[in-house]
Structure 1
């Protein structure tokens, strides 16, 4: 009796095609295996598997970002899809299309990809800036080795003392210096302490008003202790490093122009050495103000993960709500077009961050909308450079228009192939 072929179509997450036996979890040596994960990683892979399949994952959550950062090919599937899988079965996984199948004939052995210039340029010669988002010294070093243009986003909230105590100016002076030295001359943008309900240190109590996804986070906490002391300690450390290194400051989760002006002025008062200051727009109302913000700050960043959370009204960290945060929704691209059109010739001062631009197939329409600056995971730089090199901006503009005019997410996925 012939065993029926299993074809599962999940959500594409990290590109790459691999073949291997299915293993549940990471308890055993995962080398060469396709690992089925039922909970997110708390630490990077010690021994990376050939590929991963995440069950009921929230693709834009804080928990899954390290999986994307691993560069290991992977997809996301539902619990009902996972029920068809069993340990030891031989599978082919395609992270770019979302395919997981027992049809081994579709597997094409890996080959060395063509060498693409470390300078990111589209097929028709448009320059694109690929920077790296980092949370550790190891990732900063990887960015240098991968010829990133800059560290576009250093997530300072993940830099914590080993003893778990409240960080102070001495800690940040030492830690930020190590980051700058590891960057080896690359410009480094430090996002100031950015805490939310899903990434809260033990020394910061969670109050009812802070518990929700739209509660107090980012700069909303800067006036209150103990976060105010951390804010000042970080600025003190940056001010001491600024004469030696090319550092920039990024304010997280700014809501409006008045809030931006207040904290911009406060930072200027505390710094003796001039440092470029930027702000992060992570809500729809903030993103629509960027043309005004750029009259105050030197650059801005759009946090696509939180932006989508607000735009679609769904908690990014809840797997049960993942269908609402739809990276193929035409309304998302209509909104991003509106933002790009509003900033016009200052689009090069707008940096897109988050999962969205790194998902397979998404970079071309973003280029078509006019975006040219991205902060991404270091492990995905080769794939994104190759994607950019194969994209003609004229064709990408037409694709973006088609996506904005599409009637459904299904139609968008068809347009993206």
Structure 2
């Protein structure tokens, strides 16, 4: 069987499926033969914990509300001894070798379906009690809140993770050396989770529809993060071909390592600067290995946990990061916990964030957010470990930027630190149109093309239903990019691009033609972009950009890019040929 999604992180992966739904809280996987008895014991232990819970609830209600109410939970206790529940779940673990959570889920679903078919209303209503007992059993299977990351450590690699959606806070905790790739029902190419995977070089496919209901846990899965193809249970010869593709892709990336220490130049000798985007401080070695000339964007929101990051913990992280990159610059963006930070999906938390549209980034300073002050103190205390630059997200007006700089200057005096360069993100049309005003209060500016595109086109980049309308090559976006570049040049202010456009070998020529010379991208993209740029003539890129800005649609721009794509494709295709 073949599924088709959207490839968002290049590479090929092959492995056994681990299926996780409901934001990775409901997990299904196959057991090894040696793990069956341990899983049966987990089920027995959970039953006894559940029995104790229910008996305590029943006794408490009997004392406070009387025996009638207590009998509800006394009846639930009896369910734990019903062979249709526990005995059946144990049997599924033994025969189907599935994890206990999945076994309980299947048994509860079967019992509810059977009760729903009964003509008796009283019996049908017992489905709610069955669900309640099942939910308590599942919670007691993980009394210490065992996470998906913990379970991945116990499953034999390599695995392919199949999810409905994966919050970035969960993705950041996983050991991706054990997870070969990701298939997601929903998602967009610019979600924080996808950006993280791209930086780690993990193949990923999003928008695969009902993959979580069609892929069986333990099933062999092969995926291509470029074409979006997902193959289930391929025949042995087909599987061997996919495994060869995965090996060739890895070998091709290694073949580009020779470009690591070479400066980025176009064919006609124009010098460009390529820096790296980074999400996890522990992955800083990838930045060095890719030959980046610094960190152009460290997304500090990946430090956030449920309670936020403490000042001392932040100081330690920032010091380590600055020291590892010294003397190269490290640009750290202050917390920007946007709508898709914890729960990127079509509804729920993301929808709730729309109720406070635009309350993010620098606007938290205007809201007197204590987190901002804590982070600035931590940054300034760590500044002497390397070359620090502070980047403020979601800047809209010069007044906002001036206010934030005032807060930073105040904290600088408090900690007795040295003044560090402060820059602003250009992520909304208002900022792109007033770069000249922003440049008066910033040492540098950085264009975030992901947000600039979504706010220009009124397309939520985390909404899979609108994914096809998210077009970075829209003439409206390109005209804003040109306006920003022209104003920055006139103001003598450094301007870079740190969005996903910067890491696309076919779009960077367009950005060069628009006047950009400094880019920050996922580390894995640097050698590919460097290779592609070596074939580019800036004069041709300028002509291309001029025509693209005057185009009437993104489709027309894509056609213009196709005329240059032959040259670029030769360079990019060189990265996927088998080395001699």
- Equivalent of 2:178, from 47, 56, 71? 47
Shift of 1:21: 7.8
Count of residue pairs brought into register by the alignment = 399
Q: Find out whether 1:176 has 2:318 as its counterpart.
A: yes
Q: TM-score normalised to the size of structure 1?
A: 0.81
Tell me how far apart the structure 1 counterparts of residues 352 and 18 of structure 2 sit (CA, whole Å). 39
Tell me how far apart the structure 2 counterparts of residues 168 and 34 of structure 1 sit (CA, whole Å). 34
Asked if the contact 1:58–1:317 (Cα under 8 Å) also holds between the matched residues in 2, the reply is yes
Shift of 1:152: 1.3
Tell me how far apart the structure 1 counterparts of residues 299 and 470 of structure 2 sit (CA, whole Å). 23
Aligned in 2, Cα 1:411/1:52: closer, same or farther, shift over 3 Å? farther
2:188 is matched with which residue? 58
| Pairing 1:292-331 to 2, within 5 Å after superposition | 292-331=437-476
| Pairing 1:221-232 to 2, within 5 Å after superposition | 221-224=364-367, 227-228=369-370, 230-232=371-373
Aligned in 2, Cα 1:138/1:256: closer, same or farther, shift over 3 Å? same
2:166 counterpart SS class: coil
Q: Find out whether 1:14 has 2:9 as its counterpart.
A: yes
Tell me how far apart the structure 1 counterparts of residues 350 and 207 of structure 2 sit (CA, whole Å). 34
1:135 is matched with which residue? 279
What stretches of structure 2 of length at least 5 have no aligned partner?
21-28, 30-154, 344-348, 563-580
Tell me how far apart the structure 1 counterparts of residues 267 and 225 of structure 2 sit (CA, whole Å). 25
Aligned in 2, Cα 1:179/1:412: closer, same or farther, shift over 3 Å? same
1:278 counterpart SS class: strand
Shift of 1:313: 0.6
Tell me how far apart the structure 2 counterparts of residues 174 and 107 of structure 1 sit (CA, whole Å). 41
Shift of 1:81: 11
State the structure with more CA Rg: 2
Name the Cα RMSD after superposition: 3.7
- Equivalent of 2:331, from 189, 199, 204? 189
Q: Find out whether 1:267 has 2:408 as its counterpart.
A: yes
Asked if the contact 1:279–1:297 (Cα under 8 Å) also holds between the matched residues in 2, the reply is yes
Q: Deviation string for 1:137-177 (max 9, x for gaps)?
A: 2222321232211111222222246xx44434323222221
Asked if the contact 1:249–1:277 (Cα under 8 Å) also holds between the matched residues in 2, the reply is yes
Tell me how far apart the structure 2 counterparts of residues 312 and 241 of structure 1 sit (CA, whole Å). 39
What stretches of structure 1 of length at least 5 have no aligned partner?
none
Tell me how far apart the structure 2 counterparts of residues 242 and 152 of structure 1 sit (CA, whole Å). 16
| Pairing 1:11-410 to 2, within 5 Å after superposition | 11-16=6-11, 18=12, 25=19, 27=29, 31=158, 38-40=164-166, 42-43=170-171, 44=174, 45-49=176-180, 54-77=184-207, 79=209, 93=224, 95=226, 109-110=248-249, 111-112=251-252, 113-114=255-256, 115-118=258-261, 119-160=263-304, 164-199=306-341, 211-212=354-355, 214-224=357-367, 227-228=369-370, 230-271=371-412, 272=416, 273-344=418-489, 349-359=494-504, 361-410=506-555
